[in-house]
Amino acid sequence: KELVGSAELAQYKLSDFHEIDKDCIRTLKTIGIKTAKQLLDVGHTGIGIKQLSENTGIVQDDILELVKLSDLARIPGVKKIRARLYHNAGLDTLAKMAKCDAEKLIKISTDYINKSGFKGIPPTLKEAEHTVTMAKYLTNTLKKKLLLFKK
């Protein structure tokens, strides 16, 4: 089955994410992984992440970070900077986002921006509501199928 959002992710290059290790991206390209969808197809399990690490020499934590960013990017409107904002603010999985309401998502984002000086803006109420709704939908859809990100 196709992952929700995978058609858009097929066009989304890993190199488009904000604050990523360019060497990691170059290495993944050498094995044919250039897009968020390609990375999720291979690295959506702990075993997949481990195999990618063994095959490329990339540290598992670096691959996991890219997998998490790619998974967050399945939510329309959460790409480049917004995916990085949520990830860095501690909302690095759909499950964590799904436990929020819109106000909490805004507060966590705003607090992180104020504390860190992150170059981005928190979501509007409408954006936050959409993000949380999609995170809940995607989390519930995947509960029976996927794994996601246990260390």
Residue-wise pLDDT tens digits, 78-88:
888 999 999 99
- pLDDT value for 146: 46
66-83-68 Cα angle (round to 5): 30
Counted residue by residue, the chain has a size of 151
- Which residues face 35 on adjacent strands? 13
Query: What number is the average pLDDT over the span 18-37?
Result: 93
Q: In this predicted structure, what is the pLDDT of residue 7?
A: 65
Q: pTM, whole model, 2 decimals?
A: 0.86
Residue 77: what pLDDT? Answer: 85
Query: What is the arithmetic mean of pLDDT over 36-44?
Result: 90
Residue 150 pLDDT > 60, yes or no? no
pLDDT for residue 72 is more than 60 = yes
N-term to C-term CA, the chain: 25
CB atoms within 10 A of CB 78: 26
